[in-house]
Chain A
Amino acid sequence: MSAAAVSPGLRLWGAYVRWSARQPVLASLVPFVPVLVLWAAVVQSGIFPRVFLPGPIEVVEKFGTLMANGILPAYLEDSVVRLAAGTAVGLAIGIPLGLLVGLSDRAYRVLWPVLLFFQAIGDIAWLPILLIWFGFGLTTMIFVIVYTVLFPVVLNTVLGVRSVPLELHRAALSLGASRARVLWEVVLPGALPNIMTGLRNGLGFGWRALIAAEIIVGTSGIGFLMFDARRAGSVVEILLGMAVLGVLWYVVDSWVLAPIERATGQRWGLVTR
């Protein structure tokens, strides 16, 4: 009896796995094909009027128009710059604060309950008072993003700092490291996988918060584009905005976050794949 024959289906799957290993970028688009096909089929069936549910072709056409007249690139830039600025400030405050709370028992006792309290007051819940304080503008939006990014970063940094084994501190000290060097050489890299988790959550929440803020206070940006389209009754633009949100997040995740995680925590065996 020879080896059992491989079924044609399995063989096809094998070919797909080998192809996707060679073409990871193209392969990552494949799962969206059924989604698009389903969408187009629903539109084509005529269950919903076209004004309520335009098809993928119309959305792509709209994408072309808005790219050509410069509105989409400008709005996209506004949203991304706001998110990047807010995230940078959130990290700049969150990581040092997390290190302090993670390393000092006193800071932990004093600050941890306060952090939990303010974490509970969600980003959007701040909007009413921020609008009174700062008005409809960039300050309000950046505040919301910083606030949203800050807490996941702080809380995860604290967890990361506390997860570094005591022996690693001791090993560094007995090899001649000063307390400051221990912070840089042991605590930060040890906490990095958790800081990355915090950043990932923070960016995800921050992105949602930004869209919400743009809907309420915006004069530009993807959130504004979608809300403005609602006023004009343009479902195509709303769908386009939704697609842009999804694509942008996918790009940030697979081009920025995932490579960092592969190069750090996964490489060091601190995070299992």
Chain B
Amino acid sequence: MKSLTIDHLQKTYFDPFADKQVTAIRDISLSVAAGDFVSVVGPSGCGKTTLLNLIAGFLAPTAGEIRVDGRAVNGPGPDRGVVFQSFALFPWRTVLDNVAFGPKMRGVAKARRHEIAREYLALAGLGHAAERYPNELSGGMQQRVGVVRALANEPDVLLMDEPFASVDAQTRMTLQEELTRIWAQRRSTVLFITHDVNEAVFLANRVIVLSHGAVLDDIAIDLPRPRAWDALIEDAGFKALSARVLQQVRAA
């Protein structure tokens, strides 16, 4: 669990069809404390996915710097775990071997990495699915594996790119509650990208609203934990915060 610092980040790219430079990230400076849970919301095209891809190292910034625990980011690396909207599980590996993939890349011996994987699978109640292949699981189960796979590699920062956007509404609520529970246990540093305002508020300690590649607002979420939908859905504080975030997103 380490901090994440973003310093005057810019990203432009050339669009050959429009024949001009397009600005995805205008200027973002942001600091996420170690062990904090931060959501990033904003309308389509605000640059939130580009921001995540820059932090993950999948894209190189045009200007500015990203640091994890003081070290500058230069390309993808195991210090930043990523959970993808499309799950991105390896179809040719069992659930167990998907989760053991990160430790395997670190050179952890087979018996030990399977032990690690089983521990993390148990954490998400997935012990029974260890020997199955991803295509044999429901979407919700697959994304649980996606989260567990990222966690089992013990990253400094966990980056989540709309991870629950493609599962059904009921499963999504369950996954959100499980995520808050796991986060409370492990206290990872999490950056969670979403376009769902309620999700952003429910999960995070802080919600960042992006607009046109810049930070429009930074809202502290001081709701008590543990959080559960049954209680929060009618909670006045939750409703007020959601309304405020929604207002900003719509203004963005």
B238 at the A interface (CB under 8 A)? no
B47 at the A interface (CB under 8 A)? no
Interface string of A67-98 (1 = CB under 8 A from B): 00000000000000000000000000000000
Question: Which A residues lie within 8 Å of B136 (CB)?
Answer: 269
| With known contacts A165-B86, A264-B92, A173–B76 Cβ distance under 8 A | yes
Main secondary structure of the interface of A (DSSP, over half): helix
Residues of B48-85 at the interface with A, using a CB-CB cut-off of 8 Å, are 56-58, 75-78, 80-82, 84
Question: Which B residues lie within 8 Å of A181 (CB)?
Answer: 105
Cβ-defined partner of B102 (8 Å) among A167, A175, A186:
A175
B133 at the A interface (CB under 8 A)? yes
Contact, CB under 8 Å: A170 / B82: yes
Contact, CB under 8 Å: A168 / B90: yes
Question: Which B residues lie within 8 Å of A178 (CB)?
Answer: 105
Contact, CB under 8 Å: B153 / A167: no
A268 at the B interface (CB under 8 A)? yes
Contact, CB under 8 Å: B153 / A175: yes
Nearest neighbor of B87 in chain A, beta-carbon distance: A167
Contact, CB under 8 Å: A175 / B91: no
Nearest neighbor of A267 in chain B, beta-carbon distance: B133
Count, chain A residues at interface, CB 8 A: 23
Interface string of A108-128 (1 = CB under 8 A from B): 000000000000000000000
Contact, CB under 8 Å: B149 / A175: yes
Question: Which A residues lie within 8 Å of B86 (CB)?
Answer: 165, 167
Contact, CB under 8 Å: B81 / A174: yes
The complex places the Cα of A126 from the Cα of B195 at a distance, in Å, of 60
Contact, CB under 8 Å: A177 / B92: no
A176 at the B interface (CB under 8 A)? yes
| With known contacts A175-B78, A186-B90, A170–B133 Cβ distance under 8 A | no
- Give 16 CB contacts A-B under 8 Å: A165-B88, A168-B88, A168-B90, A170-B88, A171-B88, A174-B81, A175-B153, A176-B102, A176-B105, A185-B90, A185-B101, A186-B90, A190-B91, A268-B133, A269-B133, A269-B135
Across the A-B interface, the 10 shortest Cβ-Cβ residue pairs: A269-B135, A176-B78, A173-B76, A176-B105, A167-B88, A171-B88, A175-B102, A268-B91, A189-B92, A174-B82
